[in-house]
Amino acid sequence: MRKQRLKLNLCVAAALVIFYFAVDFGIKQGMITPFQQINLVLIGVNIILAVSLNLITGFTGQLALGHAGFMAIGAYVAGVMTVKLGQPFLLALLAGACAAGFMGILLGAPTLRLKGDYLAIATLGFAEIVRGVLINIDYVGGAAGLIGIPQLCTWFWLFVWTVLTVVLIKNFINSTHGRACIAVRENEIAAEAMGVNTTLYKVMAFAIGAFFAGVAGAIYAHYFYVIQPNTFGLMKSFDVLVIAVFGGLGSITGSIIAAIFVTVATAALQDLSVLRMVIYASLLIIVMILRPQGLMGTKEATFDLFFRKRGESHGSAQSKQSV
């Protein structure tokens, strides 16, 4: 089984490398249009946001609606670092992500003792406070936003941080800390009885999710030149939650698929003006009726079933030969 896992990991790594160089070649040769490049960036940003929110809501079971606030912190801190202070993109991105993660700890420590609707309202209020503060700070442009951000986010940085987000969060979930977060989701009282520090793990998941939301914000800021407080409003938090729920709470694969689908669908319907949101909302309603647990539920796309069936068939063949 370990050899099969190794082969699978090598196949996935090879596929990612091929995909990276294929897209890079398409961009350099002009085969991928600027409009398609914009949507490629939005797909990457949405994957990072959805996977990081899924860690909080799907795997730890905490209903949070403040993801746009963490994204805004990452975007503005990174933007100030490059525009005002002249720092390199990588340092600015890490500074924005760390600032968002730190705010995740500050917010998570007192609010994660709340549950259900109360936690959702508290995190939603945090996102609106961040937006209101940014509107009233002239240093970052106020309501007009931070303008003149250099376009430092290339396909390389987008690809690297998207893959890193998925890999790191996946490894965290598979670790003992991730299992503790899942235990909190399943039954918090039982987890506490078994000695799990539920508050610690909820804050840990919240901080990691906020960190990667800050990464998404920094990437967004350094591709679209300008960021405004209203970009990170209430609807942005709901959009990320919709993607996570649509893909399946508790499934990283589902978040990736849903992020791609929602971004592509939004781009395809943008010429329909008002009807775009009607069709988009109708599609989501239909999917939720037919598949209320989301596209993937809590399952991940693996080859375990394939390997098991092949092993069973091989074993049955050997038994027949022995008979």
Asked if 258 contacts 249 with a C-beta cutoff of 8 angstroms, the reply is no
Check residues 246 and 284 and name the one with the higher pLDDT: 246
Nearest 5 degrees, angle CA 154-CA 156-CA 158? 70
pLDDT digits (tens, 9 = 90+) for 14-29: 989 999 999 999 999 9
Asked if 112 contacts 62 with a C-beta cutoff of 8 angstroms, the reply is yes
**Confidence class of residue 156 from pLDDT cuts 50, 70 and 90?**
very high
**Other beta carbons within 10 Å of 121:** 14
pLDDT digits (tens, 9 = 90+) for 195-251: 888 888 989 999 999 999 999 999 999 998 889 999 898 888 888 988 888 888 888
Q: In angstroms, rounded to a whole number, what is the distance separating the alpha carbons of residues 115 and 248? A: 21
Alpha helices in the chain (DSSP H): 2-28, 34-54, 67-83, 89-111, 117-135, 155-174, 176-186, 188-193, 198-221, 234-247, 252-268, 274-290, 304-322
Question: What are the domain boundaries of the chain?
Answer: 35-312
CATH number of the domain at 35-312, please? Answer: 1.10.3470
Q: In angstroms, rounded to a whole number, what is the distance separating the alpha carbons of residues 108 and 102? A: 10
- Average pLDDT in the 147-173 region? 92
